[in-house]
Chains A and B, each alone.
Chain A
Amino acid sequence: MDVTFEKDAVDHVLASFDKAVDENGYVVDGDTGERVRTPSGAELEAQELAIVAHGSELFIDDNFASLVEHVERQR
């Protein structure tokens, strides 16, 4: 089953993983309010979320280089 989301539905996808968006547009943990980081350690703007990946729950941004890193990790 191929499941995708559109940019305007990011908040709802994040909410499914107990994540929220702070007043500056960054993804935060729903419980602690701490900003969620991408695998390379960067804070993540909700509008840049490209992939929620399985494993230890990875949130990948839409930068081409981040997608390359993600694909390499999956190999």
Chain B
Amino acid sequence: MGAFETLTKLLGALSPDLDVTFGDDVDIGDVDEESEVRIKTESPGEKAHLTGETVYLYPEQLQGEEYVLFQKFVREAKRDEGEVVRADEKDETKALENTETVEIDDTIQFFDGVISDRHVSILRSALYLRTLSESDDPLPDFDVGQKKRDIAEKYGYESYYMIHLASSGYFDEGRYFRELYHELETESDSTLGEYRDEFEEIIGEKLIGTFVNADDTTYDVKSDVKAGIAKHFRYRPPADFFDVCGMGHRCKVTIDGAVEDLERDYEEMQYDDENRNEERVVRIFPETIRGFGIE
């Protein structure tokens, strides 16, 4: 017997009960294998309710054999469908299942075994997050900030930096982290260990750039850049740049203001515009201001 048959049996067992109500003009015969079933407890004294295509079950109200049938139905639904999902996670789970993964798989394949398993897991979640948040058909109420916090809660605080980097494409084909691997590959016999050390230091110390939020002020960004460049001098990463990145008009204005201020303070500072689509990116070359007070 499958979930549908058990549901029919359960509803049949409930029908004679005065506590069971059904929506207007709908009877039990309208329940079919395409119907949706929603399990909830808040019930206005009902055991089940049928509205359109959705059957609402209220297990709190079920007794004896009814409850046994309900539990059987849940187990069979899991067996038939492969899973039973919390209603408010349904859309997100579906969206994740339907995500186009060619680029994600390509990136994960490149870095799998190159960086640690934990960093691969962070990267995978970050790439899914990028794909969902850039979707043409965005999920309603999809809270990107909460998803970032989820990833950080699971894998640690440095997830935030990796999420920013992944979102800005630093792990993509032809971009910094892959190029660094190829560079070390041609220069050294111990590519993997060396790469992993460099990678973990870059991520842990945030050595190749800073990411600007809409709430940041020009002063915040200027301070972040100076602190980042000071670290760059201290740790000497294998990158000759420090990027300042931000999405949207507000961030662009803030970044431009901060760069103007920095230029005033450090006349020798050299930088390039490296804008990518909607993202404002200023690539500063730290060596051009070494010895001018940022140490």
CA–CA, A51 and B85, complex, Å: 4
The 6 closest A-B pairs by CB, nearest first: A16-B74, A12-B59, A64-B150, A16-B71, A4-B87, A3-B77
CA–CA, A7 and B153, complex, Å: 21
B60 nearest in chain A by CB position: A12
- Beyond A4-B85, A64-B129, A64-B146, list 8 extra A-B contacts (CB 8 Å): A3-B39, A4-B39, A4-B86, A6-B41, A7-B88, A10-B86, A16-B75, A71-B128
Q: 1/0 per residue B105-133: CB within 8 Å of A?
A: 00000000000000001101100110000
Between-chain CB contacts (< 8 Å), 17 pairs: A1-B7, A1-B36, A2-B81, A3-B77, A5-B40, A6-B86, A6-B87, A12-B41, A16-B75, A51-B83, A51-B86, A51-B89, A51-B93, A54-B83, A63-B151, A66-B150, A71-B93
A3–B86 contact, CB under 8 A? no
A50–B93 contact, CB under 8 A? yes
A65–B89 contact, CB under 8 A? no
Query: Out of B72, B90, B124, which one reaches A4, CB within 8 Å?
Result: B90
- Residues A65 and B155 in contact in the complex (CB < 8 Å), given A4-B39, A49-B86, A52-B84: yes
From A2, A5, A64, name the one whose CB has the most chain B CB atoms within 10 angstroms.
A64
Q: Which of chain B's residues have a CB closer than 8 A to the CB of A12?
A: 39, 41, 59-60, 70-71, 74
CA–CA, A15 and B74, complex, Å: 10
B39–A5 contact, CB under 8 A? yes
**Interface residues of chain B: helix, strand, loop or mixed (majority):** helix
Q: Is B80 an interface residue (CB 8 A)?
A: yes
A58 nearest CB across to chain B (Å): 8
Q: Which of chain A's residues have a CB closer than 8 A to the CB of B77?
A: 1, 3
Q: Is B294 an interface residue (CB 8 A)?
A: no
Q: Is B96 an interface residue (CB 8 A)?
A: yes
Q: Is B42 an interface residue (CB 8 A)?
A: yes
Q: Is B215 an interface residue (CB 8 A)?
A: no
Query: Out of A1, A54, A65, which one reaches B151, CB within 8 Å?
Result: A65
Q: Is B250 an interface residue (CB 8 A)?
A: no
Q: Is B78 an interface residue (CB 8 A)?
A: yes
CA–CA, A60 and B83, complex, Å: 10
